[in-house]
Amino acid sequence: MISTNQFKNGTTIKVDGKRFTIVQFQHVKPGKGAAFVRTKLRNIDTGSVQDKTFRAGEKLEDIRTESRPATFLYSDGESLHFMDAESFEQAAIPAGVVGDTADFIAANTTANILYADGEVVSVQAPPHVELEVADTDPGVKGDTATGGSKPATMETGLTVQVPLFVERGDRLRIDTRNREYQTRV
């Protein structure tokens, strides 16, 4: 059990039988009445965010979470297969659990797998990844004066806007938080 006085950003709790991660919290002491804690919670299973208010000192059930690094091996269409970096055990994670993170995970790259109560709840890519350009239109000489951009399809299927000088086969650094081109590697 965890008290509202012990809340920290990133703490996982169970409310009404559902698992949540605390995104933000604020202790409020109004001039009149009892103190309370205003929180913003992200549902671990659905990803939705909601606001919830708790009485100060209220006890809630906390959830044990663990993040482990794993190497991506391959995808069979329905699941993505990872190998735990420490125990070398292989795990098949359904594509629905991985979600959009699959766009940033190429073969033999490392991602963090988040476990809650021993069950895989999400896969997190690093903040920046290096991917190879699989397909893009050729840049035309002289087009760089305006600083334009063109779409490029990466090796994982992700489409990113890149500068005109980027060619097929280049390795690019992509920011996973905003899905934008950073630099050529």
Q: Report residue 163's pLDDT band, with 50, 70 and 90 as the boundaries.
A: confident
Q: What six digits make up the tokens of 38?
A: 């205003």
CATH number for the domain harbouring residue 22: 2.30.30.30
Closest CA to 25 of 1, 43, 51, 49: 51
| Confidence (pLDDT) at 131 | 92
Report how far apart, in Å, the C-alpha atoms of 42 and of each of 4, 66, 68, 103 are.
16, 17, 20, 22
- From the number of C-beta atoms within 10 Å of its C-beta (0-12, 13-18, 19+), residue 134 rates as middle
Question: In this structure, are 137 and 119 located in the same domain?
Answer: no
CATH number for the domain harbouring residue 81: 2.40.50.140
The model's pLDDT over 70-109, given as tens digits with 9 standing for 90+, comes to: 999 998 888 899 998 888 889 898 887 787 888 888 888 8
Q: What is the pTM of this model?
A: 0.69
Task: Residue 22: give the domain boundaries.
Answer: 2-62
